[in-house]
Amino acid sequence: MTGAQAPVQPGYAAIVLAAGAGRRFGGGKLLAAWRGRPLVEGALDAALASASDPILVVTGADAGPVAEAVRDWGQDRQAGTRLRIIHAEDHAEGMGASLRTGALALPSGLKGVFVFLGDMPGIPHDVFAGLAEALAAGAPAVAPEHQGRRGHPVLFSATLIPELARASGDAGAREVLSILGDRLVRIPTEFPGVLFDVDRPGDLDSAPAPEVPR
């Protein structure tokens, strides 16, 4: 466990992609119980810890139940006006549509936007300040890296928001990242939670808990 880092400064937003149907899971993935809570709450906790404002949660499949779970979480965490729920009408198109919906709803004047995946409950809360520092130093986008593999969330500079707002298909942000190539800065982390996503019910038992700085 590393020591606590300085908090992320104002000027960052978060998009939490929570629109997927979870077909490989058998449906209802984001509401499945993980450590006694709906799975999506792990990603929401991470977004809140990133000090992002606003936190835009994009729903799609299971929109009503997911939105209700998100609202309940927001009340418990006193997220207040930071939390906004947006429905992607065209979510069946793929992750690109959900990302596009979130990017189009972002306010102006941001430094950058974190993109979280709703089925990744183990994001370590220790990574956000380092990502923001790299962005402030001039990186167009930054991501954590564990054992040589790029993880999540990705922090995009405000200059890339128009590209995110044009995302399509099921690639999500991968097309933008592929264009960046080596300009995507990777910040090493010892925590495997940056790689872990839940695809099938059996994954729920092996997901690492988020690492919160002490």
Q: Look up residue 36 and give its DSSP letter.
A: T
Quote the strand ranges of 9-67, DSSP E.
Answer: 12-18, 33-34, 37-38, 55-59
- Return the CATH architecture of domain 12-195: Alpha-Beta Complex (3.90)
User: Token digits for 189?
Assistant: 């982390």
> How high is the mean pLDDT in each 10-residue block of the chain (214 residues)?
54 96 88 94 96 96 96 95 96 92 97 97 93 97 96 97 91 86 95 92 74 45
pLDDT at site 6? 53
HSE, CB side, 13 Å, CA atoms: give it for residue 35: 11
Query: Angle at which helices 40-49 and 63-77 pack, to 10 degrees?
Result: 40
H and E: helices and strands count for the chain: 6, 10
d(CA 122, CA 191): 9
d(CA 211, CA 38): 18
Radius of gyration, CA atoms only, the chain:
16
Q: Is 134 exposed, middle or buried (0-12, 13-18, 19+ CB in 10 A)?
A: middle
Peptide bond into 144 cis (omega under 30): no
pLDDT at site 11? 95
For residue 74, CA distances in Å to 55, 78, 81, 156 come to 10, 6, 9, 24
